[in-house]
Amino acid sequence: MHRPYFSVVVPTYNRLGRLRHVIAALEQQAYPSDAYEVIVISDGSTDGTDAYLETLRSTMRLRWLTQANQGPASARNAGIQKAVGEFIVFIDDDVVPEPQLLEEHARSHHEAGKDVVVLGPLLTPEGFEMAPWVRWEQEMLMKQYRALLRGDWTATARQFYTGNASLRRGHILAAGGFDEGFRRAEDVELAYRLANNGLEFIFNIEAAGMHFADRSYRAWLDAAYAYGRNDVIFARDRDQKWLLPTIRQEFLDRHFLIRSLVRVCSGRSRLTGIASSALKLAADAATLLQVGVLERKAYSGLFNLQYYNGFFNELDDVHFLFRDVENPV
């Protein structure tokens, strides 16, 4: 396989301070500078991003475009259309690539011996202060990576996070690109279509980016709810029939406290609100007292409540996850 030419697609929205670091890191890649381009898509930014890009003089081939705010799926599709590279590398505007990131993506494609989707990790930056709920989410990512490295399971479409991933541009176009109707989990939805087309997913821990994640508590809760709704939509409307039985088995494998919490609160919005408030108070107290175990358990409860609330609301069946428990075979 010849050395791939990469188009690095970076959608951005009001993260000028971090975007500067992302671009600087892309300029410092170990990969030959004549073997990649960078395309930045400003998705309706209002923080001076467009003015910065207009005056930027980069040492690498960099192009940029702007559009009204339409979400990351639309922004990535716009970048894909402008790209000239044989391969697309997706990088988010809060992911600062390590110097070897592009080199490692290229190595993985070369060594695979066939067309694959390469997934790189979103690692936790040393010394970066995250909000507690973001810190919990980042630790869940790291837990996934440790499991992949141990060989507990192999990478699948469900780990296709476009903060750091690469594949042939032709495969994205053949799959129809990102569905712009989704603003959460749009990357996984595309990955399911890629998997249906026969693509396999591989994980390379060395193709690393540092994840400077930052989101409000409300945005974090809303994301959890959207993930739950979208999983039902993907199973019901996007021909992923395996997904609901998988989610039920994963639920049955969860800690009994999480199962009990979800079971008691499911279909009871007032009780869910009371439980969520209590868990947030517990999380805040744990953060203040630096009791990491309690903090993590509280945020795990909060995330699961929101996820399954979205799941049940879209499925319209609050008993789906509990039938095997209530009526054991």
Instruction: Divide the 329 residues of the chain into consecutive groups of 10 and give the mean pLDDT of each group.
Output: 82 97 97 96 97 94 96 97 97 98 97 94 96 97 96 95 97 97 94 97 98 96 97 96 95 94 93 97 97 97 97 92 60
> Of all helices (H) and strands (E), which one includes residue 281?
helix 269-289
- Residue 323: its pLDDT value, please? 77
Task: Go through 60-98 and write b for each residue having 16 or more CB atoms within 10 A of its CB, e for each that does not.
Answer: eebbbbbeeebbbbbbbbbbbeebebebbbbbbbbbbbb
Residue 96's φ and ψ, nearest 5 degrees, are -95, 110
CA dist 115 and 132 (Å) reads 39
**Where would I find the beta strands (DSSP E) of the chain?**
6-12, 36-43, 61-67, 87-91, 95-97, 116-119, 122-123, 164-168, 200-203, 209-211
Q: Which amino acid is at 300?
A: S
Quick one: 153 exposed, middle or buried, by C-beta within 10 A (0-12, 13-18, 19+)?
Answer: exposed
What confidence tens digit (pLDDT) does each residue in 162-216 have? 999 999 999 999 999 999 999 899 999 999 999 999 999 999 999 999 999 999 9
Tokens of 57: 């003089």
Strands, E assignment, 68-129: 87-91, 95-97, 116-119, 122-123
Say if residues 45 and 65 touch (Cβ distance below 8 Å): no
130 Cα distance to chain centroid: 17
Model pTM? 0.93
Q: How far apart are CA 251 and CA 257, in angstroms?
A: 11
| Cα–Cα distance, 308 to 302 (Å, whole number) | 10
CATH code of 6-215, in short, is 3.90.550.10
Strand partners, 202: 118
DSSP string, 182-241: -SSSHHHHHHHHHHHTT-EEEE-TTS-EEE-----HHHHHHHHHHHHHHHHHHHHHSS-T
Residues of each domain in the chain carrying CATH 3.90.550.10? 6-215
